[in-house]
Amino acid sequence: MIAAIKKMLGIGPQVDLGTLIANGGIIVDVRTPGEYASGHVKGSVNIPLDSLRSQIAKLKKDKPVITCCASGMRSASAKSILQSNGFADVQNGGSWYNLKKYEK
């Protein structure tokens, strides 16, 4: 049941995130600045979900983007926003903590 819900929401890695990151993929943490300050993946970019539409120009459409947050819910929304704005290679990485193993 949980796997089906995660798949429906696009939570969790669908591809090898380590390879994407090693090849120039960008981790976008969509938590609030306060959450980000309390811990984040080194090398990630903090663009809070409620600011994503207005700051979308900071991201390049020709690079893979991996979204993350606290649990994977906001990053699923961020993935949808990016895809609807022409980003083709977007992955929901789920929780930021699970992405720490890919730190630059």
Q: Which of 20, 65, 68, 69 is catalytic?
A: 69
- Please state whether beta strands 90-95 and 45-46 pair in parallel, antiparallel, or not at all (unpaired): unpaired
Q: Which residues contact 59 (CB under 8 A, 6 or more apart)?
A: 26, 28, 45, 47, 65, 82, 87
Distances (CA, A) of 43 to 10, 29, 34, 36, 93: 23, 10, 17, 12, 15
Q: Would you call 68 a catalytic residue per the annotation?
A: no
Query: Any idea which residues carry the catalytic annotation?
Result: 69
